Chains A and B, each alone.
Chain A
Amino acid sequence: MQNTRYLQRYSDADRINHWALVIFFFCAALSGLSMFHPALFFFSALFGGGTWSRILHPFAGVLAFLFFCGMYVRVARDNAWNPDDSVWVSRFRSLAAGHYDDVPPVGRFNAGQKIVFWWMAICLALLLITGFIFWRPYFAGYFSIGWVRLATVVHSLTAVGLILGIIVHIYAAIWVKGTTRAMTRGTVPESWARHHHPRWADQMTQQKR
Chain B
Amino acid sequence: MSTLQSLDIAARSATTLPSPSVRHEAEVAKLIDVTSCIGCKACQVACMQWNDLRDVIGDNEGLYDNPRDLSPASWTVMRFSEVHTQPDRLEWLIRKDGCMHCEDPGCLKACPAPGAIVKYSNGIVDFISENCIGCGSCVTGCPFDIPRISKKDSKAYKCSLCSDRVAVGLEPACVKACPTGAIRFGTKEDMKEFAAERIVDLKERGYQQAGLYDPQGVGGTHVMYVLQHADQPQLYHGLPADPKISPLVALWKGVVKPLSVLAMIGAVAGAFFHYMKVGPIESDEDKAS
Please give the residue numbers on chain A whose beta carbons come within 8 Å of chain B beta carbons, in ascending order. 34-41, 49-51, 53-55, 96-98, 100, 134, 136-137, 140, 145, 148-150, 152-153, 156-157, 160, 163-164, 167-168, 171, 174-178, 189, 191-192, 195-196
Contact = CB atoms under 8 A, between A and B. Distances in A.
Contacts of B151: 137
9 contacts: A38-B112, A50-B113, A51-B154, A136-B136, A152-B249, A156-B257, A167-B264, A175-B271, A177-B281
B142 to A, nearest CB: 9
Given A38-B14, A41-B14, A136-B154, 19 more contacts: A34-B112, A38-B16, A38-B114, A100-B281, A136-B135, A136-B149, A137-B154, A149-B252, A152-B252, A153-B248, A160-B260, A164-B264, A168-B271, A174-B271, A191-B283, A192-B283, A192-B285, A195-B283, A196-B283
Contact of A149 (B249, B275, B279, B285): B249
Interface string B42-78: 0000000000000000000000000000000000000
Given A41-B14, A137-B149, A167-B271, A36 B257 contact: yes
Nearest to B113: A50
B168 interface: no
Nearest to B286: A177
A53 B258 CA distance: 21
Contacts of A39: 16, 261
Tier of interface size on chain B: 35 or more
Given A152-B140, A191-B284, A163 B134 contact: no
Chain B residues touching A, majority SS: helix
B218 interface: no
B162 interface: no
A178 B286 contact: yes
B15 A38 contact: yes
Nearest to B136: A136
Contacts, number: 128
Contacts of A153: 248-249, 251-252, 256
B260 A140 contact: no
Nearest to B15: A38
B191 to A, nearest CB: 29
B248 to A, nearest CB: 4
Interface of B: 14-16, 112-114, 131, 133-137, 139-140, 145, 149, 151, 154, 246, 248-249, 251-252, 256-258, 260-261, 263-264, 267-268, 271, 274-275, 278-286
A196 B137 CA distance: 47
A91 B59 CA distance: 70
Contact of B256 (A55, A157, A195, A196): A157
A191 B248 CA distance: 52
Contacts of A35: 112-113, 133, 135
Contacts of A148: 139-140
A175 B273 CA distance: 11
B268 A167 contact: yes
B280 A175 contact: yes
Contacts of A176: 280-281
A187 to B, nearest CB: 15
A189 B264 contact: no
Contacts of B280: 174-177
A49 B112 CA distance: 13
Contacts of A149: 140, 246, 248-249, 252
